[in-house]
């Protein structure tokens, strides 16, 4: 369908950003989407974020961090397009008669309806988002749609809106759609409709973005006809949230050595290698008298949803046992304070060569020794290479973990300020703004909009909610 062009084009480039996970959610992808919206607004774009109703995160899935909403720039328009989310409905009083009385049949019918639109549980959101993009474009021309996944229903919505309006779109893979990152294997059988949809989406995308080179290379090999439009925009950290962290307090004072504090910061999932870490932690404490009094502090949520908390809590020792303490979650706005109280950071990561955690960049910015407890081929090696206080395992075993824990402890005792400064300088290349600067120029090229003057922050734009 050929769109009707508007006679007056706005002076600022206008982008619609389809980001299912956006504040107040605490889902891992929210930090990239928040930073992207803020960066584009600061660079002079008129930014409208399409995201679900707040209640989906607060009431349906109980996955939210209230401190994050205050970090969204005031000139970012947050447009909340309602996601039906019947499968997640927590209030039994709102169940249909069928779901209340024959839940298995209701679930099967619901899945069939969802998959008829798109092979994903989030598919009922697609037509609502497409309708909203068309409304926004009719009102004031939209130059570009940027969609971030998961969920990949956001990609389908951008594709459909493009077919109806002609507005170009860019897809940002925060996660992988058809590649199982933890098994390094295809996520679906060959005849699954996800493959057809991915090819359809990528064929028309103006740019295709990945968080690291291994992911770009995997997709380029599978979709060679689209490879020239593929690029990498790494994750990063937010100096404005992390703050200026002080150096760790001296280990030695008045001739005495205080116990070292090790720490993990991040959401703990069933994929995180807690077992190998605990094996190594116990071995290191038994072999090194100076570590016998050391403590390990785990900060973060236990999974992304409340139902997983009990199972994941059981993977950790009881509070205080073996010097391990679970400290609970920390609001994003207060993570700097938690880092400031630690001497050594333990980077436990799941997955292999395709996985790069956003925590990698934040860890480096803290300027502390980092113990890598993850497979040696992890994509996290890329940004960590060159960080002077990095202690990686050669294999994921208790003995190797014990070795690097002891080496990192020695570095923490020395507390060489020049190494800490070099570590922070290395990390400074990975701020969110540094990572997004080149991407913003790519988006301008797609939109046909030359660089202009950055926009100053303005008062908060009221949010819009749509049924």
- pLDDT tens-digit series, residues 240-264: 888 888 888 788 776 778 999 999 9
Please work out, in degrees rounded to the nearest 5, the angle formed at the alpha carbon of residue 462 by the alpha carbons of 160 and 64. 75
pLDDT over 90 at 352, yes or no: no
Domains 14-236+432-466 and 239-428 share a fold: yes
pLDDT over 90 at 153, yes or no: yes
Q: Which superfamily is assigned to 239-428 in CATH?
A: Glycogen Phosphorylase B; (3.40.50.2000)
Res 7: pLDDT:
45
With a CB cutoff of 8 Å and minimum separation 6, the contacts of 146 are: 15, 16, 17, 18, 36, 158, 169, 170, 172, 443
Residue 224 or residue 266, greater confidence: 224
Question: Long-range contact list for 393-399, CB < 8 A, 24+ apart?
Answer: 396/273, 396/276, 397/276, 397/279, 397/280, 398/276, 398/279, 398/280, 398/282, 398/283, 399/280, 399/283
**pLDDT mean across residues, the chain:** 89
pTM for the whole structure: 0.89
Res 270: pLDDT:
87
Please work out, in degrees rounded to the nearest 5, the angle formed at the alpha carbon of residue 220 by the alpha carbons of 216 and 225. 140
Please work out, in degrees rounded to the nearest 5, the angle formed at the alpha carbon of residue 28 by the alpha carbons of 221 and 67. 150
Say how far apart CA 25 and CA 20 lie, in whole Å: 9
CATH number belonging to the domain at 14-236+432-466, selected among 3.40.50.720, 3.20.20.140, 3.40.1620.10, 3.40.50.2000: 3.40.50.2000
Segment 60-96, tens digit of pLDDT: 888 888 888 999 999 999 999 999 876 666 666 666 7
Domain boundaries, the chain: 14-236+432-466, 239-428
Of the candidate ranges 131-135, 253-257, 361-365, 415-419, the one whose mean pLDDT is the lowest: 253-257
E-strand stretches of 61-219: 76-81, 144-149, 169-173, 179-180, 185-186, 207-210
């Amino acid at each position: 369908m050929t769109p009707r062009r508007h006679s007056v084009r706005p002076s600022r480039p206008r982008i619609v950003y389809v980001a299912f996970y956006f504040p107040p959610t605490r889902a891992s992808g929210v930090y990239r989407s928040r930073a992207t919206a803020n960066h584009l607004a600061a660079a002079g774009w008129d930014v409208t974020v399409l995201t679900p109703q707040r209640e989906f995160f607060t009431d349906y899935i109980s996955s939210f961090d209230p401190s994050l909403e205050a970090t969204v720039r005031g000139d970012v328009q947050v447009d909340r397009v309602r996601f039906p989310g019947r499968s997640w409905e927590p209030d039994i009083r709102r169940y249909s008669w069928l779901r209340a009385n024959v839940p298995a049949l209701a679930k099967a019918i619901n899945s069939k309806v969802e998959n008829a639109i798109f092979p994903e549980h989030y598919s009922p959101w697609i037509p609502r988002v497409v309708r909203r993009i068309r409304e926004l474009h009719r009102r004031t021309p939209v130059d570009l749609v940027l969609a971030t996944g998961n969920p990949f229903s956001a990609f389908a919505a951008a594709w459909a809106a493009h077919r109806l309006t002609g507005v170009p779109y860019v897809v940002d893979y925060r996660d992988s759609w058809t590649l199982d990152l933890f098994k390094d294997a295809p996520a679906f059988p060959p005849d699954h409709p996800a493959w057809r949809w991915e090819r359809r989406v990528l064929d028309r995308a103006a740019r295709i973005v990945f968080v690291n080179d291994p992911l770009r290379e995997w997709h380029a090999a599978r979709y060679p006809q689209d490879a020239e439009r593929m690029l990498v925009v790494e994750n990063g950290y937010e100096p404005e949230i992390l703050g200026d962290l002080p150096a760790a307090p001296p280990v030695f004072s008045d001739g005495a050595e205080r116990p070292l504090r090790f720490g993990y910061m991040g959401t703990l999932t069933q994929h995180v290698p807690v077992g190998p870490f605990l094996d190594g932690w116990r071995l290191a404490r038994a072999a090194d008298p100076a570590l016998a009094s050391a403590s390990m502090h785990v900060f973060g949520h236990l999974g992304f949803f409340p139902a997983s908390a009990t199972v994941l809590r059981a993977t950790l020792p009881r509070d205080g046992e073996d010097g391990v303490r679970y400290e609970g979650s920390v609001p994003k706005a207060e993570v700097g304070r938690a880092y400031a109280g630690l001497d050594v950071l333990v980077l436990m990561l799941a997955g292999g060569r395709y996985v790069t955690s956003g925590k990698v960049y934040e860890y480096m910015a803290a300027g502390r020794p980092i113990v890598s407890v993850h497979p040696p081929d992890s994509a996290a090696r890329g940004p960590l290479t060159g960080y002077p206080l990095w202690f990686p395992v050669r294999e994921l075993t208790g003995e190797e973990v014990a070795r690097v824990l002891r080496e990192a402890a020695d570095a923490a005792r020395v507390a060489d300020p020049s190494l800490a400064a070099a570590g922070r300088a290395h990390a400074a290349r990975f701020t969110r703004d540094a990572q997004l600067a080149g991407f913003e120029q790519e988006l301008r090229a797609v939109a046909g909009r030359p660089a202009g003057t950055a926009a100053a922050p303005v008062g908060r734009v009221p949010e819009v909610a749509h049924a």
